[in-house]
Amino acid sequence: MQDTYAPRDVRRNAPLFIALAGLAWALLTAQPARAEIPVLEPGDYADTLAGSAPGAPDMPHIPEPWFMWFVMGTLDRPGDVDVVTFEYEAGELFRAKMYIPAHEDLRRFAPIIALVGPGLPPGEAPFPLPAGMGIITATSDNQTPYFDIFTQMTFWPRAQIELTMPQTGRYYMLVYGEPVGRARYALDIGIMETYAPWVIVNYPIYWWQVREFLQWGHVPAAMLPLLLSLGITWITRRRALPHIHRSVWWLGVFGVIWLGAGLAAWFYSAGSLTVTALSLALTLLGLLIAGAHVFTPLRERLTPREFARQVVGDERFVTLREADGLTVDIQYTDDGPRDAPPVVLMHGFGAYSFTWRRLRPALLEAGFRVIMTDQPGYGASDRPRGPVYDTRRQAERVLAVLDALDVPQAHFVGHSFGGRMGMQIAILAPQRVASLVALAPEAFATRRPPIAQLLKVPLLAYAIAFYTTLPALVHPFLKATSKRTDWITPEVRAGYSAPLVVKGSVWGQVWQARSPKDGAEPVPHNLARVAARTLLVWGEADPVFPAGDGRRLLDILPAARLHIIAGAGHLAHEEAPDDVAATIVDFLKGQSA
């Protein structure tokens, strides 16, 4: 199917594409930088005094200490002194912060951090200092929790040292103190955060190293969504679904989980339950929005023609090329004698030709030629993207199908929105209408329902359309619109939900909501022009369009009569099929005679 609205979508999203291109260029051209890269297990100070070379495995050397580094270590026994080394120029800003994982058994762990190097003031230390070097020490037992975005963990901040380096040379950062429990710590050294592409690529590895080390081998709960996503991706890949599309959206889902969980934990540590709840709500909303896109390929598996061939069993289409260049394939059926009076059946909102499975045999047995069409957006017909679903345009498509079949005039039978289409046809082309049967027609509505307004909201629209068309909701929808429910069997539920597997179904619902209700000559303002003899069939307890609307139409339509089905709801042709079929057949026979 040709989609004339795709270029318009590209133009509308051009700023987004430009921004993404700029971001990609910035990442690819960024200079290599080390940002928050973990250095696990610093060397021991005694080895340093014994003459270990700088940068040896037992004494890590930080080559660019102005970038942030996470130095993590453990004081295993009393007298341990951990150390890392680095080079600084005189006048450069130095900062180091000590953090203790917020485990209860580490609450009393308050190690000392010390900066040793040239130009620092002399001081006392429980170990010998190299000649010509001074020392600055700091400690703290701060119990205020702090949530770190990088590690996604809560810490107790401890000591901090910040100063301008007095001289150029080699400096040592030391950690020592009395061990408490499994005395693990994180030392944040540096002040700059600059991410190069290779750092971003390796970020999950760094994050896992930090979490695994500080959590003592515990698999962090934040990894579960990622593991779940990988599992689902593996399962869906075996079903030959679009791999790239799925992977991109899973990355988005995991990112939303990670960000939302991090914000929630941060706000919770700050004591703001209201903001925590808001963060979790935003996370859930993000998951629902992303999930709609992720799971669409799992549901929408067939093209319209594949659905017609595999499910409907009738692959007859009329291809319409409309005035604005849009090309639409409309599926139809055409049965009965070619010289018999033709009857056109038009379904309502959310249905397709399946809804006429009981009326159609009765009409064929009565000697009529029966033509059924699936409206674009439903059944086996195309689902164009664009505001092309107004009543007039849908009605003109039915007339175009009849032109293709060389049918100059017909009896029209429509349910709900299909009844509105029949009235629109009677207004636009009265010479084409031999008679009209309208079952609970949508005659007086001038705008789409309130939920359609939500489908105009960016981001939310697709998610709302996806979740409101879940196959599991078909049964509740049928039950809510019916007064009698014994006809809703598993086979019926499966029949009504079957077209949801057609590709583009969700977007079709979005664009129907975004389309004008009527084109020129709207139905509610031109009802008096419906001159054809009309049979109105209404369920007595219709919860969608009350039977009172039928009585109003009797005062407006010049040649109408009303038949009320006792005890029926909006789907009278399903709830009382024999009564409805007999009434319609008698009416059409009278008009044909």
Q: What pLDDT, on the 0 to 100 scale, is given for residue 34?
A: 43
Angle between helices 474-481 and 490-497 (to 10 degrees): 110
- Do residues 216 and 184 make contact, with C-beta atoms less than 8 angstroms apart? yes
Whether 486 and 459 share a structural domain: yes
- Answer with the one of 254, 277, 299 that is the final residue of a domain: 299
Whether 545 and 459 share a structural domain: yes
Average pLDDT over residues 335-345: 96
Report how far residue 113's alpha carbon sits from residue 269's, in angstroms, rounded to the nearest whole number.
25
- Do residues 85 and 171 make contact, with C-beta atoms less than 8 angstroms apart? yes
Q: What pLDDT, on the 0 to 100 scale, is given for residue 568?
A: 96
> Which residue type occupies 64?
E
Whether 193 and 330 share a structural domain: no
Q: What pLDDT, on the 0 to 100 scale, is given for residue 521?
A: 92
509 domain residue, yes or no? yes
Residue identified by tokens 């709830």 is 575
Report how far residue 229's alpha carbon sits from residue 536's, in angstroms, rounded to the nearest whole number.
53
Q: What is the tally of structural domains in the chain?
A: 3
Whether 311 and 289 share a structural domain: no
Least confident stretch, 21-25, 168-172, 296-300, 571-575: 21-25
Query: Checking phi first, is residue 386 left (phi over 0); if not, alpha (psi -120 to 50) or beta?
Result: left
Q: What pLDDT, on the 0 to 100 scale, is given for residue 5?
A: 34
Q: What pLDDT, on the 0 to 100 scale, is given for residue 198?
A: 56
Whether 439 and 566 share a structural domain: yes
Whether 435 and 547 share a structural domain: yes
Report how far residue 519's alpha carbon sits from residue 496's, in angstroms, rounded to the nearest whole number.
28
Residue 75: which domain range?
37-201
Supply the pTM of this predicted model.
0.61
9 domain residue, yes or no? no
Burial class of residue 210 in the structure, from the number of CB atoms within 10 Å of its CB (0-12 exposed, 13-18 middle, 19+ buried)? buried
Rounded mean pLDDT of the chain?
A: 82
Whether 121 and 252 share a structural domain: no
59 domain residue, yes or no? yes
- Do residues 378 and 308 make contact, with C-beta atoms less than 8 angstroms apart? no
563 domain residue, yes or no? yes
10 domain residue, yes or no? no
Report how far residue 286's alpha carbon sits from residue 256's, in angstroms, rounded to the nearest whole number.
6
25 domain residue, yes or no? no
Note the pLDDT tens digit of each residue in 204-215.
667 777 777 777
Three-class SS of 209-220? HHHHHHCCCCCC
Whether 233 and 323 share a structural domain: no
Query: Checking phi first, is residue 557 left (phi over 0); if not, alpha (psi -120 to 50) or beta?
Result: beta
146-160, 424-438, 443-457: which is most confident: 424-438
Whether 295 and 339 share a structural domain: no
- Answer with the one of 171, 201, 231 that is the final residue of a domain: 201
5 domain residue, yes or no? no
- CATH (domain of 180): 2.60.120.380
Report how far residue 254's alpha carbon sits from residue 343's, in angstroms, rounded to the nearest whole number.
53
* Stated length of the chain: 593
Three-class SS of 454-485? HCCCCCHHHHHHHHHCCHHHHHHHHHHHCCCC
Residue 29 forms beta bridges with which residues?
Answer: none
Whether 278 and 223 share a structural domain: yes
- CATH (domain of 446): 3.40.50.1820
3 domain residue, yes or no? no
Whether 69 and 169 share a structural domain: yes
- Answer with the one of 175, 201, 227 that is the final residue of a domain: 201
Whether 399 and 368 share a structural domain: yes
Note the pLDDT tens digit of each residue in 251-305.
555 555 555 555 555 555 444 556 556 666 766 777 788 788 878 888 999 999 9
